[in-house]
Amino acid sequence: MGTPFNVRAVCRNGTAVWYAPGMAAASSPAPGQSSPPHRHHEPLALRTVFVAPQRAERPTQAGGTGLTADCPFCAGHEARTPPTVLQCPADPTHPWHVRLVPNQFPVVSEAAPATAPGDLAGLRQPAHGVHEVLVESPTHERSILAIDADHWRDAWWVCRNRLAALAGRPDLAWAFVFKNSGPAAGASLEHVHSQLVALDFLPPLVAGKIAIAGCSSDPFGTLIRQAEAEQRIVAEQGDLVALVPHAPRQPFETVILPRTACRHFHAADDAAVAALAALTRRIIARLNRIAPRADYNWWLHQAPFASVGAHAPGVEQWHWHLEILPRLAEFAGFELATGCHITTMSPTESARRLREA
């Protein structure tokens, strides 16, 4: 027998643990019994999959086929969602224009037991965490461009405040914000919204990025300087820079990040939050002029919470950043088989077109 293939993972307290194919997995629920969210790890494929049966029950309204009377996110339909976590304005006697609620069809559950040091030995684990929905408008808008600019800034303030609250929880390791805009990007409801997820472990993709950042004394400063030298800067707002990465997966892919090191978005000051709100509107407006009604995803990556290790290599040099990925072409067999991507436009040309749009 050969040596088992082991894969390193990181617990929320920074402990390195290992998956091994020969280790027993937790038993499955009995037939006909509903299963809470859990995650499976495939060591040979270096792949973690969240199994969330409730997600199949999500209502589908994306693509312009839904009726506003059926939309759970419109003002007046608050009873169709779980109770509000945060809203803006905070006074519940005032009409809200931003509202954060628990996701009714979560990929993780706070009721699931949290991963403890050494618990990652199994191939099947409870999916512990927080999954919430940020409703970004009380009216049935499909684009962030239809939202009042001040209200859009408030949406990012709500995100920052919620991330700050989650950062203090010892059961959580990391959190992020993401948006699926349009059916090609995975949206099931057309009403403009984002999602916030906090996990009790650091995903391998993020752990890998942080490890690479730890190999340089100024990785994000180097990234910005290279973009300046290659004319890939698209726009700037205050301390924030929007640039096309050197290896974009799609035309017009854009990264927004601060010039000054800031590990966590919840540590960003008011000026940075306002700048991010302004830049996201500018980039999406330009994308809309170049490729009208293009669907897109974005996600905000930040450093892990202190429970994972505030001084791990790469964390001290980390800059939170938002990656915007237009969905202009399908990911097909080549991308799935190799992990590599094909794009039809150079990064310099993408940046030029975005600047001039």
Distance of CA 132 to the CA centre of its chain: 12
**pLDDT given at position 136:** 98
Domain ranges (residues) in the chain: 7-20+36-169, 205-356
**pLDDT given at position 36:** 84
**pLDDT given at position 26:** 35
pLDDT of residue 159 exceeding 80, the answer is yes
pLDDT per residue over 233-287, tens digit each?
Answer: 999 999 999 999 999 999 999 999 999 999 999 999 999 999 999 999 999 999 9
pLDDT per residue over 218-231, tens digit each?
Answer: 999 999 999 999 99
Between CA 20 and CA 266 the distance in angstroms is 36
Of 3-17, 43-57, 190-204, the range with the highest mean pLDDT is 190-204
**pLDDT given at position 286:** 98
The DSSP 8-state label assigned to residue 177 in this structure reads: E
Query: What average pLDDT is seen over the chain?
Result: 86
C-alpha dihedral (151, 152, 153, 157), degrees to nearest 10: 90
Same-fold call for 7-20+36-169 versus 205-356: yes
**pLDDT given at position 56:** 82
Average the pLDDT over 290-295 and give the result: 95
Q: Assign domain 205-356 to its CATH architecture.
A: 2-Layer Sandwich (3.30)
Between CA 56 and CA 188 the distance in angstroms is 11
In residues, how long is the chain?
357
**pLDDT given at position 61:** 66
pLDDT of residue 310 exceeding 60, the answer is yes
- CATH label, 7-20+36-169, candidates 3.30.70.940, 3.10.20.30, 3.30.428.10, 3.40.630.30: 3.30.428.10
pLDDT per residue over 84-123, tens digit each?
Answer: 999 999 998 999 999 999 999 999 999 888 875 444 446 7
Stated as kind and residue range, the H or E segment containing 159 is helix 149-167
Nearest Cα residue to 84 out of 94, 92, 95: 92
Residues 6+ apart with CB under 8 A from 3: none
**pLDDT given at position 122:** 60
**pLDDT given at position 9:** 37
